[in-house]
């Protein structure tokens, strides 16, 4: 099973299969070894780039902690080697090592504390009701189109101070970056060219906004990032747009994919839905963590070995690529009892759905948890009989997808009136 899975990891059909079947293949790989040798084509060089798939919890978390031994600066968001300019353009500081990573992350982190995010967190519920209002009278919709896709991106756009008139521009560009490789989204364009064009669209828009905020600051994240009023360092002009691309793409995807797959998991486990819906306030914190564990929206991050070393009895050379598969680690039976069971009251739940421990742990985890808590609570309260009526249709990836995105999934519910405003 493991060798069969490895032969198909680059096949788009592998990633369009049901989530559980993919996790079964990773479990077979993990049962043989925490490190499984594999390779993937590099379209830039025409050769295959070798790597090790990391599928066990202990090894994944150890690699995550040891950033000096397993670096991100040689590639984190792509399995294959890419020009550093490209990885930093799309990955911002998650594609860097210290001290550059430490500097940029610390600047941004000031705006991502619970206190600094308070206004954003309070607006999440308003935006949530806004998107539910847009579809609550229809009775049947594509959940991705009407809820999962717009909700977190609207939060981010409002947070950055991007006007609603630019929302469609941001949405289309992020869809191209998230769905690179899917023919339906590319529309006949070359994947790399389409991604670069989408990135340039976001860069142009963000540079113009940053320039305006330098002249006329407001109460938004963009203003906070480009102004130095208390002696703190700020992002350089060329650093603002890559950070926004990271936030607009990776920053909204955990919520986007987790919302869709969470609804599907509830449909597959009606007993767990009843437990949650019968006691929303008490169960929501653990249910959100369980959705992130089981769905594991971010498929992988890559680390590169910086010196000859041995880990768990395996010798590695400098330059070896290690690809951390978070969904596989989140099903490790040495850490999670009955790991394939979806349990909305699972506790403890030390999942790595927001990344492993260490300097690259997800900066936006607090916001993502808040968004997921609100969207499920409001859906239960406003559309209590909402149910999935179609299987999730996954994006067609070019190789191993960074994000296990869903293109569409239909739901039905009893129509209800929008909230009066």
* Residue pLDDT, tens place only, 80-94: 998 888 888 888 999
The mean pLDDT value for 100-115 works out to: 87
Which domains can be identified in the chain, with CATH numbers?
Answer: 2-412 (1.10.630.10)
**Residue 135: which pLDDT band, with cuts at 50, 70 and 90?**
very high
Please say whether the beta carbons of 107 and 234 come within 8 A: yes
Report pLDDT for 360: 94
On the question of pLDDT at 1 being above 80, the answer is no
**Residue of higher predicted confidence among 287 and 111:** 287
Closest CA to 258 of 384, 368, 399: 368
On the question of pLDDT at 228 being above 70, the answer is no
Phi/psi of residue 170, nearest 5 degrees: -65, -45
Report pLDDT for 6: 54
Report pLDDT for 3: 45
Residue the block writes with tokens 């560009």: 173
Report pLDDT for 107: 87
> Which two tokens mark 6?
């490895």
The mean pLDDT value for 36-50 works out to: 87
Report pLDDT for 2: 42
Please say whether the beta carbons of 297 and 404 come within 8 A: yes
Percent of the chain with pLDDT over 90: 69
Q: What is the mean pLDDT of the chain?
A: 91
The mean pLDDT value for 270-274 works out to: 98
Please give the biggest Cα pair distance in the chain.
64
* HEC string for the chain: CHHHHHHHCCCHHHHHCCHHHHHHHHHHHHHHCCEEEEEEEECCCCEEEEEEEECCHHHHHHHHHCCCCEECCCCCCCCCCCCHHHHHHHHHHHHCCCCHHHHHHHHHHCCCCCCCCHHHHHHHHHHHHHHHHCCCCCCEEEHHHHHHCHHHHHHHHHHHCCCHHHHHHHHHHHHHHHCCCCHHHHCCCCHHHHHHHHHHHHHHHHHHHHHHHHHCCCCCHHHHHHCCCCCCCCCCHHHHHHHHHHHHHHHHHHHHHHHHHHHHHHHHCHHHHHHHHHCHHHHHHHHHHHHHHHHCCECEEEEEECCCEEECCEEECCCCEEEEEHHHHCCCCCCCCCCCCCCCCCCCCCCCCCCCCCCCCCCCHHHHHHHHHHHHHHHHHHCCCCEECCCCEECCCCCCCCECCEEECEEECCCCCCCCC
Bridge partners, 309 (sequence order): 316
CB atoms within 10 A of CB 371: 28
Phi/psi of residue 33, nearest 5 degrees: -165, 150
Distances (CA, A) of 395 to 102, 192, 208, 399: 33, 16, 31, 11
**Residue of higher predicted confidence among 219 and 143:** 143
Phi/psi of residue 229, nearest 5 degrees: -110, -15
Residue the block writes with tokens 């990633």: 15
Please say whether the beta carbons of 64 and 355 come within 8 A: yes
CB atoms within 10 A of CB 381: 11
The mean pLDDT value for 375-392 works out to: 96
Please say whether the beta carbons of 400 and 79 come within 8 A: yes
Q: Is the pTM of this model over 0.85?
A: yes
């Amino acid at each position: 099973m493991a060798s069969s899975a490895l032969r198909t990891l680059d096949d788009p059909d592998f990633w369009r299969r049901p989530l559980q079947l993919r996790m079964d293949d990773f479990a077979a790989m993990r049962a043989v070894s925490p490190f499984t040798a594999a390779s993937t084509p590099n379209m830039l060089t025409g050769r295959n780039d070798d790597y090790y798939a990391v599928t066990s919890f202990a090894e994944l978390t150890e690699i995550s902690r040891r950033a000096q031994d397993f670096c991100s600066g040689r590639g984190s968001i792509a399995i294959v080697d890419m020009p550093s300019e490209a990885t930093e353009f799309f990955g911002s500081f998650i594609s860097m090592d210290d001290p550059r990573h430490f500097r940029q992350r610390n600047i941004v982190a000031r705006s991502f504390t619970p206190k600094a995010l308070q206004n954003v967190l309070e607006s999440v519920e308003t935006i949530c009701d806004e998107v539910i209002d847009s579809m609550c009278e229809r009775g049947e919709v594509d959940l991705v189109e009407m809820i999962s896709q717009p909700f977190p991106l609207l939060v981010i756009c409002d947070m950055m101070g991007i006007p609603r008139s630019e929302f469609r521009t941001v949405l289309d560009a992020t869809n191209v970056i998230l769905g690179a490789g899917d023919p339906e989204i590319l529309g006949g364009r070359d994947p790399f060219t389409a991604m670069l064009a989408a990135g340039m669209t976001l860069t142009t828009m963000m540079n113009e906004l940053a320039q305006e905020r330098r002249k006329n600051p407001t109460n938004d994240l963009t203003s906070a990032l480009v102004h130095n009023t208390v002696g703190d360092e700020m992002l350089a002009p060329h650093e603002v747009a890559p950070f926004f691309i990271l936030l607009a793409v990776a920053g909204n995807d955990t919520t986007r994919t987790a919302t869709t797959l969470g609804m599907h998991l509830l449909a597959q486990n009606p007993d767990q839905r009843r437990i949650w819906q019968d006691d929303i306030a008490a169960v929501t914190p653990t249910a959100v963590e369980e959705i992130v564990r089981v769905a594991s929206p971010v498929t992988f991050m890559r680390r590169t070995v910086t010196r000859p070393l041995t880990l768990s009895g395996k010798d590695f050379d400098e330059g070896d690529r290690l690809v951390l598969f978070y969904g596989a680690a989140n099903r490790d039976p040495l850490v999670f009892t009955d790991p394939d069971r979806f349990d909305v009251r699972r506790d403890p739940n030390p999942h790595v759905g927001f990344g492993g421990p260490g300097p690259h742990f997800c900066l936006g985890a607090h916001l993502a948890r808040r968004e997921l808590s609100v969207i499920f609570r409001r859906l239960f309260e406003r559309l209590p009989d909402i149910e999935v009526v179609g299987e999730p249709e996954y994006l067609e990836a070019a190789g191993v997808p960074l994000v296990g995105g869903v293109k569409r999934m239909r739901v039905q519910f009893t129509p209800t009136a929008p909230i009066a405003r």
